Structure 1
Amino acid sequence: MLVSSILNSEVMMVRYTCPCCGYQTLEEEPPGTYDICRICFWENDGVQFDDPDYEGGANTVSLRQAQQNYIQFGASERLFCDDVRKPNKHDRKDPDWRPFSSKLT
């Protein structure tokens, strides 16, 4: 997992990759920090990080579903569409991040 450094008011801030959207927005290294990504509003849950199909815990939907939701409508859950923001020119996407494939039912 890559990290990004952002120069902010002369202080170097390290950002970690959100497992839902792939942007480097988290202040603490995943998993299980419960940081909330401002781009997709995913709450970083260690259980869901280890089991991407687990529904419940800090997030209602599974990590796999949240990734698909972000791709479809820009938030981890439709409920959070008004809480998220679009990535800007300062946001960095982890080039090694990939969403899980859709689960076949």
Structure 2
Amino acid sequence: MYLKKYQCPCCSYFTYNVPPAEDWGFICPVCFWENDPLIASNDDPSGSNHGITLNEAKSNYLKFGACEEEMLQYVRPPKSSEKGRS
């Protein structure tokens, strides 16, 4: 059975089981961003993510593979099924 997946707002991999706007507290296993539907914009500090913004988390993910460098120990590479649809 195939379940529809949704993109993580930070790393963009399809790791969410519900749309991010409806998910509270899901932590992406690829980048370790904790979903925070309460932030109003990508530049708002996220209380769920030690006060970093989503834009900072995206930049961090591109630099070293996690939303924060301290979270590298918790992440895993994306599965082929999470890499997106062509």
| TM-score using structure 1 length | 0.71
Runs of 4+ with deviation above 3 angstroms: none
> Based on CA coordinates, which of the two structures has the bigger radius of gyration?
1
Residue ranges of structure 1 left out of the alignment (5+ in a row): 1-10, 96-105
For residues 31-60 of structure 1, what are the alpha-carbon distances to aligned partners after superposition, in whole Å with 9 as ceiling and x for unaligned? 251211110011111123x32112231112
The separation in 2 between residues aligned to 1:75 and 1:94, in whole angstroms, is 22
Q: Counterpart of 1:26 in structure 2: which amino acid?
A: Y
Which residue number corresponds to residue 84 of structure 1? Answer: 75
1:44 paired residue among 35, 44, 63: 35
Residue ranges of structure 2 left out of the alignment (5+ in a row): none
Q: Name the structure with the higher helix share.
A: 2
Q: Kindly tell me: are residues 32 and 43 of structure 1, through their superposed partners in 2, closer, same or farther at Cα, counting changes over 3 Å?
A: farther
Contact 2:46 2:54 in 1 (8 A): no
Shift of 1:90: 2.5
Paired residues, what number?
84
Contact 2:30 2:78 in 1 (8 A): yes
Which residue number corresponds to residue 8 of structure 1? Answer: none
Q: Name the structure with the higher strand share.
A: 1
Which residue number corresponds to residue 73 of structure 1? Answer: 64
| TM-score using structure 2 length | 0.85
